[in-house]
Each structure stands twice: as C-alpha cells, then as structure tokens.
Structure 1
Amino acid sequence: MSAIRTVLGDVEPGLLGRCDSHDHLFLASPQLSGQELDDPVAAEAELRAFAAAGGRAVVQWTPYGMGRGGAGLARLSRATGVRLVAATGLHQAAHYDESVLRGLFTGDRLTELFVEELTAGLREPGVPAGVRAGMIKVAGGFHGLDEHARRVMTAAAEAHHATGAPIGVHHELGTGAPDVLDLLCDRLGVPPERVLLGHLNRFPDLRLHRQAAESGAFIALDGPSRAHHATDHHLFDTVAALVGAGHAGQLLLGGDTTTRAARGAPGLPFLVGALAARITREFGAELTERLLVANPARAFAADWL
C-alpha cells in the first residue's frame, strides 16, 4: 500500500495535510560556516508556529552528513504534532570532507547507505531505532553534472529501484534539469513522477520549466526565504505559466530556509499563511489545496519495497 515514510513511521498520503515540501530545520556545511541551523529550541518554535498557521507536515531535504538533526526529529514531531519526512542522499562534494566521500564511494557503500537509511534507520549518532528517511536528496552542478553528481545519482537510482523512494534534486541556481532527467530517467530508469526537481524558479526560464514539467516530474518551487528571496518576484508568473500549460498537478511549494539568519524571516508559517492566502486570491482555493496538500501527498508517497 502506498504510504509516506515519516520519522514516526509510515502514514497514509491522505493524512499528510498542508505540507512544506522543501525546507530545513537543521543543516550544517563548510559552505555556510557560522550560519548553521543547529538549535533544537528554535526548530521547535518554528514548527509550533507552522502548526498554528495550519501547517501539518514538513519535508526536510537535509541529506546524510550535513547536520540533519536526526536524533531530535522524532521528538520534535511528537512535541509539535507536525509530521516530518527526513532525507538520505548526498549534496555536492563541496559540502563534505574528502575522506568521507572516499569511504562512501568504495564499492556499493553509497547505495547501501541510502537503502539502509530508507528501510532500517538513519545512520547518525543518537538516532532512535526505526527513525527512517522518506526520500533521497541529490544535487547537480551549474548547467550540468560533474562526476560526483553522476555517482551519487546512480546510487540514488539504485536505491529507488530497491525501495520505491522518491528522489529530490537540488539544481544549482535552477539549472541543469535536462541533464538530470536524462541521467535519472532516461539512462537509469527512474520514473519521472518519482523525481522532484528543486529550485527551478531560481532560473526564470519558463520554456525550461515547461520542458521539465512535460517529462512528468514534480517541480518544487522553493523560494520564500531570506536566503532565496530573489525568486519571489516571479513565483506567481511561474505558477501561472505551468498551470496554464496543464501542470498544476506537478507543482510543490517549499520555503527552503538554509541559514540561521534566514530562520523566522519569513519562516515556515509564511508558506501556509500569507503565501497560501495570496495564491488563493490569485488562483482560487482549489489550486492552493493542490499545491500544499494533494500534490505533496502524491509526490512523497511510495509503494515501499
């Protein structure tokens, strides 16, 4: 039976509720020194505000080895009532120590890591037994894929075929979607509807957006955060163009808060509060519910193997 894998267990897709489809409660990287999201108290406050605004679920795209806070995710979900989906996978090589990557790229260890975290539990100190990932996060480069990206995406595809998990993709400055779809779907056999293309709105090429949507993949529009505010001014044009082209059922919304300075500005509640209200005024309540409820319920559900 199809289910969404949260940190507290599998749930029926219809129970997910209003969902922030791409965000971060915890995140750490050498590329963001001094801006780590590593405060459980702040994360809980943000989730409580999100719940008060009508939010019911958050998908955290922080992958393995980037301070995803796995040890506290189950406690936060219980304390706030917000369903949390965790990610396995790897980001770009720049976010990791080279020695860590050497170990993971030996033999089939990377695929094994992804499968283990999706089926048995997160491989992270202090994580309670049974807290599992519900998606795989990978990343491309600027207008293309380097060798690191290709190896990670190959392992992600293998893990998808072994588990059914959806794959979320970071696109650097919104570029490279054709290369990603060619590798994951055409070459590695991942069904396009199991792929979530993130950040495309950072590269406001509506022709590219339509081309990507025509593949059948989900499009995650994930900009309303101080860290990514430059995408906000064309969010509604992007939504209008893709809805007009018949792709309303493939659109997802997320805040993508990635730095300490961006937390709370506007924060998780903005997505299901002020932004949802604007979308309703512009496009109607039915589309708002599709973007925040129905589409995430399909995008993150899997027939887990």
Structure 2
Amino acid sequence: MKNFVRTVLGDIAPTEMGITDCHDHLIKNGGPEMHEHIDFLMLDVAAAKQELANFVAAGGKTMVVMDPPNVGRDVTRMLEIANAFKGKAHIIMSTGFHKAKFYDKYSSWLKTVAEEKIVPMMIAEIEEGMDQHSYNGPVVERVSNKAGIIKCGTSYGVIDPLEQKALRIAAETYHQTGVPILIHTQLGTMGWEVVNFLIELDVAPQKIILSHLNKNPDRYYYEKILQLGVFIAFDGPDRVKYFPDSVLAENIKWLCDQGYQKQLLLAMDAGRFYYQAAYSATRGYFSYGIAYLLTHFVPLLKQLGVNQAAIDDMLINNPQVALAFDLTKR
C-alpha cells in the first residue's frame, strides 16, 4: 500500500498536497464556541469560497479544516466548497473532539458513552464516511466523504478527565486506522504533557501534531517538545493581540537553526469572522485573511534569514509526513 493523505474528495499521494495550511477554518456552524464570541459563527459559503480562492491565488494547495463534530463542523457546506475547488485545492476534514469546556460534564455523549463504543464512531467517520449531522443525534446519516485527521483538545494548564478520555479514544482510533492526531493546546500549555500521554498509549510521535504553541512563545519549551519527535503547527500570525509576528518568526528561525525544520508546520487558524478577508468584506471591513500566511508571514521568515529549503519543509515536505496515514496500522 502506498502512502496516502485522506481528503474529503478521496485519498491522494502526499506529494500532491503542495503548499499546505495545516490548521484552519472556512465554515463554523455554531456550537459551544459561539457562547465565547459570536464571531465564531461562519456560515457564508460564498465568502468561504473566496477565502480559499485567495489562498490558492497566493500559492496554496491544501487546507486542513479543524472543526470536529458538535464544535462547528458543517459537512454539507464544506463539501459544497470542496467540490467547487476540485482539481484546484484539497481539503482535509476532521473528526474527534475539542477541549472539555465545550462538553457538558454530566450529560454529553463524550461523558456518558463508553470509550469502546465511541471508538467505532470515530473509525466510521474515517473509513466509511462522515455523519452529515456531525453526531448531533439521534439520527446518523453518512456521506461517502471521509475525515482525514482526528482532533483532541486540552485545557489551560490541565488535561481534564474528559480530555483524557478523548485522547484515549483518539489513540485507539489511530491504532485501528493509522489516522494522524492533532491537538488543540489552550494558549500553548500542556503540549509536552499531552505528547507524553499519547506516546504512553503507543501513538507514533510523527503522527502527533500540536497547535497553538505560538501563544506560549517559549522556544526552549518548543525544543523540549520537539525532542520527542512530534510536529508543531505554528498557527496564528497576524495576531498582535497575542504576540507580534516577529516573535513567532524569530522563534521559528531559532528552531530551524537548532535543526528542527523537519518537524515544523505552518497555519493561520483563522477561526473567527474578522480573521478572514472575504468574510470581513461582507460587512465592509478590511482584513488580510488566510492568504496572509503566504503573502506576509513567509516573506518575514525570509527577511529574518530562514532559507527556502526550510520554508519548503514547513509548507510542503513536512505536511506530507505529518498528514499521511500510518501504514503500519493498516
């Protein structure tokens, strides 16, 4: 069996991915994030298509949309977008979970259903097809399009018992399918800890991706994590409310200089309405959007001395390894 990456329109060879945004959002259809801020609601298919078109025009080819069931995933709208870009761009969709805050601690299905019953639900999304209702229940109606990555989340400074359960489910799903695992780390905390949790469950480090560590700009913490053999997806340039781009870029440069360029990925994680140019334009606003990753942040990396080989690794070569299924599990 040859290496493959699972897009919603079918499996492709990793070499077909091209420039890849390893963590982003185009549609979010509500869910618990909306209780944090209404700008998490993103339902405009036309705006989402334009945003993806902007990314493609800047040189992008593949986007990983990290909206799990019950937390923003909209299978129907995303498939409309994917089909509109057939032959132009690839979309990888996720199954799995988010941080514990987004689940009722007493009555959610993540709490009440046994792990051995949830694992087959995850496997079905990856090997049979996604539930078009995203397990909102009680009816499950599968499409033929499959998820290509499983997501979990951890909380700020802790790994909640519900999150530990989700991680065990993700690990078992990986063992039965080979699917890669991406972790939402809240404000960049618990990265080293969650990696060790998964490694103890025999998940191969090269199939683990950590997101949001840019919000915890500790380069020595990054190095400690990377020594475990995992990938870090540095997302969120154009977020001065956290840290300026220069902090993220300088940390990436330092990691490349330490020899870790083969374990770094890039993304925008533009998961709010006003983070995206096309959505903003519908309200008369201006913003840079997802293409900023390629039009502004990559030039900054070059300005700071990150060579083209390292940039190609982060955008093209490393995603081919991180997002491919583990064939030893199939």
> Structure 1 length normalisation: TM-score?
0.93
1:117: Cα distance to partner? Answer: 0.8
Q: Distance in 1 between matches of 2:145 and 2:240?
A: 29
**Residue 29 of structure 1 aligns with which residue?**
31
1:30: Cα distance to partner? Answer: 2.6
1:40 maps to a residue whose letter is: V
Alignment: residue pair count = 304
Aligned residue runs from structure 1 range 7-156, under 5 A: 7-27=8-28, 28-33=30-35, 34-35=38-39, 36-80=41-85, 81-97=88-104, 99-101=107-109, 105-125=113-133, 129-156=143-170
1:234 maps to a residue whose letter is: V
**Residue 245 of structure 2 aligns with which residue?**
232
CA contact (8 A) 1:226 1:262 kept: no
Please state whether the residue corresponding to 1:88 is helix, strand or coil.
strand
Please state whether the residue corresponding to 1:219 is helix, strand or coil.
strand
Q: Distance in 2 between matches of 1:45 and 1:165?
A: 29
Unaligned segments of structure 2, at least 5 residues: 135-140, 278-286
1:114 maps to a residue whose letter is: M
1:232 maps to a residue whose letter is: D
Cα deviations by residue, 1:86-120 (Å, 9 ceiling, x for unpaired): 01110012223553335763352321221111111
Residues 237 and 270 of structure 1: is their aligned pair in 2 closer, same or farther, counting only changes over 3 Å? same
CA contact (8 A) 1:65 1:96 kept: no
1:38: Cα distance to partner? Answer: 1.8
Unaligned segments of structure 1, at least 5 residues: none
Cα deviations by residue, 1:48-86 (Å, 9 ceiling, x for unpaired): 111111110100111111122211323312313210000
Once structures 1 and 2 are overlaid, which stretch shifts more, 256-265 or 98-107? Answer: 98-107
Q: Distance in 2 between matches of 1:258 and 1:96?
A: 19
Q: Distance in 1 between matches of 2:297 and 2:77?
A: 28
Q: Distance in 1 between matches of 2:311 and 2:43?
A: 31
Q: Distance in 2 between matches of 1:242 and 1:74?
A: 37
CA contact (8 A) 1:38 1:67 kept: no
- Structure 1 position 269 matched with structure 2 position 328: no
1:289: Cα distance to partner? Answer: 1.1
1:158 aligned to 148, 172, 182, which one? 172
Please state whether the residue corresponding to 2:108 is helix, strand or coil.
helix
Once structures 1 and 2 are overlaid, which stretch shifts more, 101-110 or 253-262? Answer: 101-110
Residues 254 and 57 of structure 1: is their aligned pair in 2 closer, same or farther, counting only changes over 3 Å? same
Alpha-carbon RMSD:
2.0
Residues 274 and 232 of structure 1: is their aligned pair in 2 closer, same or farther, counting only changes over 3 Å? closer
User: Greater helix share, 1 or 2?
Assistant: 1
CA contact (8 A) 1:110 1:152 kept: no
**Residue 293 of structure 1 aligns with which residue?**
316
> Structure 2 length normalisation: TM-score?
0.86
Q: Distance in 2 between matches of 1:55 and 1:278?
A: 17
Once structures 1 and 2 are overlaid, which stretch shifts more, 230-239 or 243-252? Answer: 230-239
What is the percent sequence identity of the aligned residues? 30
Residues 228 and 84 of structure 1: is their aligned pair in 2 closer, same or farther, counting only changes over 3 Å? farther
